[in-house]
Amino acid sequence: MLSLFRRNHFFRSFLLLFYIGLLKLPLFFYPIFEDHPQGIFSGWIVQAMPSKSSQLILTIFLVFFQAAFLNQLIIRNRIMREQNLYPGVIYALLTSLIPETSGLTSALMGMTFVLFAINLHFTLYKLGEFSGSVYQSGLWMTIAGLFYFPYFLFLIFLIISQSIVKFVKPLDIPRLLLGVITPFLLLFYFYLWNNRFEDFLPDVLYRYAGFVNLDWTSDVNHYTRIILLAILIIASLFNYNNYVKKKNVQAIHKIDVLVWGTFFAVGSALLANPLGWSHMIVIYPFIACFIAMTLIQMRNILMAESIHLLLILIGFYLHYLTFV
């Protein structure tokens, strides 16, 4: 099946939607969705869509859009030597590995805007004066944080990624902060208009802020997931030298941004309130790109297909451990 997505064809992008639908099929029988949204915007979405079926449809649409956007992000920036749809396929598969990341979550809703912000930073190479991109990246990342609070840590990631991709001008920090302030200012006016000024900070920040708030359980399912996540991250980063081999400087810098993104995705778990397995969504886009690069570099297509099938079987096993 993986070979169907080895080339960047328009029709095969729609096959990706069918592929995602198959991966999300267990949700029709065992729907698991987030009980407590971790951001004010995600809370509003859940209130507006209380039906599980509508949340499932939104989940499939979001995963498809993010997977397609991730594919185009990698293709346009020539991060991989071949134009293919592997990053989106692996991302869609990873979101279905465990039940907690299969449904609609705050992290999934906010991930769209994280990808928007990263895309803007990847375009900095082509822009002489990029103040607009800096402002917009801060704006998108703040919106992501209002969906899922740990994304606010990625504001630091934006500064680091800009220094990698191009350079940071003295006025770029104020421009970034202006993008950060804009959503908060609009929300403040909204609360002021509705005579709820005293609820502004509790509703927007205090309720969702956390630090090292772990919900730890000791069982086979829990430890299996930890081992799998560790293997995925270590295996993704261990192959770094092959990722950057025979790449131009721009592509290498953008791969470095993805590496830093992986570190921040892991570190941002400290801000989750509480930290649940749905946080793995934050890590998935970055390691999906690295896994895709590893698979496309394999000369034996059967080996790549075997790894893809193994991930699907692991997903079935993890779902089985959850529901038995």
Per-residue pLDDT of the chain (324 residues; tens, 9 = 90+): 676 777 766 677 778 888 888 888 777 777 676 777 888 999 899 888 888 888 888 999 999 999 999 999 999 888 887 888 889 999 999 999 888 888 889 999 999 999 999 998 888 766 655 557 888 999 999 999 999 999 999 999 999 998 888 777 778 888 889 999 999 999 999 988 988 888 888 888 888 887 766 666 667 777 888 888 888 888 888 888 888 887 888 888 999 999 999 999 999 988 888 788 888 999 999 999 999 998 888 878 888 888 888 888 888 888 777 766
Q: How many domains does the chain have?
A: 1
| Rounded Cα gap, residues 324 and 81, in angstroms | 43
3 state DSSP class of 275: strand
Query: Model's pTM, two decimal places?
Result: 0.92
Helix or strand run (H / E) with residue 166: none
- What is the span of the domain harbouring residue 302? 2-323
| Rounded Cα gap, residues 229 and 150, in angstroms | 19
| Rounded Cα gap, residues 119 and 74, in angstroms | 9
CB 70 within 8 A of CB 116: no
